């Protein structure tokens, strides 16, 4: 299988209007006390990923901040208000839509191919499956989503919930930690002889 290919869309490196910040002197000391400073900020950002020429994922957010650490780079995607959510559109091996993830914020480590979604995370699939959690990690290489937190999955025939999850990104198969379930049972033909 070929490697990953990343395409930037829009103005700037990763989206619409952007700003570039550098640290020096007094500002550098203050930023270390307050935490890392983004090296790049984009508004109305979109990031398209492809795999062997087919779409793999599309990230969209109101604001994207890129950070550089000593050993890696990562980006933080934010909604910035209550009406706009961060969105990730996932695609299967054939380039067909497999799931949509919405959250209040995301942290994407592009070198590791790992995306963490935070707060009010919802995954919906083409088959009317819906997952809800407060945190979720997507692993690009093996096409899985994981969490150690509480999760609820609704399908047309069941509702399951538990603590901890490992699942295919399209929710075709999943394993839950401690769980409970509600299953619709067809009570049509009850020919038990009574």
Phi first, then psi, for residue 58 (nearest 5°) are -130, 125
Q: Examine the pLDDT at 187 and tell me if it is beyond 70.
A: no
Q: Could you give the angle at the alpha carbon of 8 between the alpha carbons of 3 and 10, nearest 5°?
A: 165
Q: What share of the chain has pLDDT > 70, as a percent?
A: 75
126 DSSP 8-state letter: T
Largest CA distance in the chain: 86
Residues 130-153: tens digit of each pLDDT: 999 999 999 999 999 999 999 999
Residues 109-119: tens digit of each pLDDT: 988 889 999 99
Residues 60-94: tens digit of each pLDDT: 999 999 999 887 889 999 987 777 899 999 998 88
pTM of the model: 0.74
- Euclidean distance between CA atoms 45 and 14, whole angstroms: 6
- Euclidean distance between CA atoms 110 and 79, whole angstroms: 20
Domains and CATH numbers, the chain: 4-183 (2.60.450.10)
For residue 149, count other CB atoms closer than 10 A to its CB: 13
Specify the pLDDT at position 17: 42
Report whether 90 contacts 80 (CB < 8 A): no
DSSP count for the chain of H helices, then E strands: 1, 13
Bridge partners (DSSP) of residue 134 are: none
């Amino acid at each position: 299988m070929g490697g990953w290919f990343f395409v930037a869309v829009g103005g700037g490196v990763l989206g619409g209007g952007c700003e570039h910040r550098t640290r020096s002197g007094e500002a550098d000391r203050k930023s270390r006390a307050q935490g890392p400073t983004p090296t790049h900020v984009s508004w109305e950002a979109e990031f398209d990923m492809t795999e062997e020429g087919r779409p793999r994922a599309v990230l969209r957010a109101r604001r994207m901040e890129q950070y550089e650490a000593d050993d890696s780079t990562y980006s933080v995607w934010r909604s910035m208000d209550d009406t706009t959510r961060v969105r990730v559109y996932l695609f299967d091996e054939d380039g067909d839509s497999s799931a949509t993830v919405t959250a209040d914020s995301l942290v994407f480590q592009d070198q590791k191919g790992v995306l963490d979604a935070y707060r009010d995370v919802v995954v919906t699939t083409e088959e009317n499956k819906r997952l809800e959690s407060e945190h979720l990690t997507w692993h690009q290489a093996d096409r899985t989503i994981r969490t150690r937190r509480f999760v609820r999955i609704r399908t047309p025939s069941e509702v399951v919930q538990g603590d901890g999850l490992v699942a295919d990104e399209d929710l075709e198969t999943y394993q839950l930690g401690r769980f409970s379930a509600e299953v619709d049972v067809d009570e049509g033909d009850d020919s038990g002889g009574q």
